[in-house]
Amino acid sequence: MRIFAGMVLGVLLSACTTGPAIETALIPKASHRLNDVSIFAVADAGWTRAMVQKWTKHMPQRLSECGIKLGIVKITMIERSDLHKLAEEIKSSGPLIIFADKTGTDINGRTSGGVTISRGSRSYAIIARRSPSGSRFRPEQTVTHELGHILGLVHAPAKDLKGQPNVNLMQPRGCLYCSFTMAQCRKMRANKLFHKIH
């Protein structure tokens, strides 16, 4: 285990329970703030405000492990609509997350619990309630994983430089108890959507 210099004593991060022990670090004091996260949930897809709050509860914790304080998160319930048109009409400059019915399949034909779409200067995430076959997803970490994409992160390779499984929140198929790596945290904090706390 490495202890990174310059970090404030806090809660020790836990490694993903499905893989080997990974580097852990102490939670740093918040140095950046992410404001105005907009969440839209499609009620016709079966989402409720309570469900959205449940599935997003990991987001502040995962961001705090990166020294990022989460500002205002606005949840709006909507009827079924054209999600791409909705994303273009939203005026907020902050991250946009839409809880919908399905996302479809990825380029390899696999079902996906979430997808991040970039159109022009706007990136937004769609979180699925069901797979194309109708089974339900459990998006505890999917929301934060897709937020990582909105903030500039890409999928982590399957193995690290030592050939060990790369266990972190940005691995392609997710991990329930994983966190962002220190390098991923630094990259997110450099995003223009963050405000530095003085």
- pTM, two decimals, is 0.76
Tokens 């670090």 map to which residue?
25
Rg for the chain, CA atoms, rounded: 17
3-class DSSP state of 63: helix
> In sequence order, which residues have a C-beta less than 8 Å from that of residue 172 and are 6 or more positions away?
155, 156, 158
CATH architecture, range 32-196: 3-Layer(aba) Sandwich (3.40)
- Neighbouring CB atoms inside 10 A of 128's CB total 22
Note down pLDDT in tens along the chain; length 198 residues.
333 322 222 222 223 333 333 344 456 788 898 888 999 999 988 899 999 998 888 889 999 999 999 888 899 998 876 777 777 777 777 888 988 887 655 556 666 778 888 776 678 888 888 765 666 666 778 889 999 999 999 988 878 788 888 788 898 766 777 889 999 999 999 988 887 885
Domain ranges of the chain: 32-196
Q: How far is residue 30's CA from residue 114's CA, in Å, rounded to a whole number?
A: 27
